[in-house]
Amino acid sequence: MTMKVHHTLLLTGAAGGIGIALRERLKANCDVLRLSDRVDMGPAQAGEEMVLADLSDAAQVSTMVQGCQAIVHMGGMATEGAWDTLLQANIVGVYNLYEAARQHGVKRVIFASSNHVTGFYRQNETITPAHPARPDSLYGVSKAFGEDLSRMYFDRYGIETACLRIGSSFAEPKDRRMLASWLSFDDLHRLITACLTTPVLGHSIIFGISDNAVAWYDNSSVRTIGYRPQDSSDVFRDAIYARTPEPDLSDPTVQYQGGGFLMAGIPMTAHKNGA
């Protein structure tokens, strides 16, 4: 049974793919689920509040945060893209969110970080939250910034944060890489629930993955949070192998944990061509 430890819980990015998946699930965690995005989210259902807000607008973010007791921050840009867009959505936006949390006395935030913070580790390595960041993209850099900012807000203002380095959260894994990085929607909800209800969260970095047989991440140092994944990508393995070709081991997207993000935007090989 999911405990309701917060009256009003804010979910940002509610119109995105993960936000839609969490919308019904998170109602079990609160009396009122406040949904926010910069685009229409449809009509409010029972137990919901709607707030349209652009994360780059500090006044709108302040209104969005006021009156909530905890924040599940899934908003912002979720892919590699133009720097100006990432700057507003993922850097200015996360600063506005933490400033609003400080001003309105919110003491717990669940921050959607990303496995792309560590995408330049190789796929034959196992890493822990203590490993240094090695972003694979500007997107990964923006998430690393969010992790550092949240650490400062914890050390200075006592705002506890769980930085969830979400792997690949979809209904099912799409390719061989996702056999290692997959996080089911139900396990994501279990992870968020653990972070919302654990007595002492502090500032924690947690890899968001299900109980996959193949894994690049070791979460043993944060078992105190109480997250126990129950799903696994293993049930999809045979079907994925059958429909996908053998990997090219000379391909950087196969060698490194970040996969295709290494070649998104300006690819990492651009310097060889004088770009």
Residues 6+ away with beta carbon under 8 Å from 260: 253
Report how far apart, in Å, the C-alpha atoms of 187 and of each of 107, 169, 201, 229 are.
24, 9, 18, 5
To the query of whether residue 95 is one of the catalytic residues in this protein, the response is no
- Find tokens 């203590």 and name the residue: 130
The 10 Å CB-count burial string (b at 16+, else e) for 227-256 is bebebbbeebbeebeeeeeeeeeeebbebb
Exposed, middle or buried: residue 40 (CB in 10 Å: 0-12, 13-18, 19+)? exposed
For residues 21 and 11, what is the distance between their CA atoms, to the nearest angstrom? 11
- CB of 87 closer than 8 Å to CB of 51: no
Query: Which residues on adjacent β-strands are paired with residue 256?
Result: 122
Q: Among candidates 131, 191, 200, 139, which has minimal Cα distance to 163? A: 191
Catalytic residue among 121, 139, 153, 217: 139
CA dist 228 and 201 (Å) reads 16
Cα torsion at 95, 97, 99, 103 (round to 10°)?
180
Q: Which residues are catalytic?
A: 139
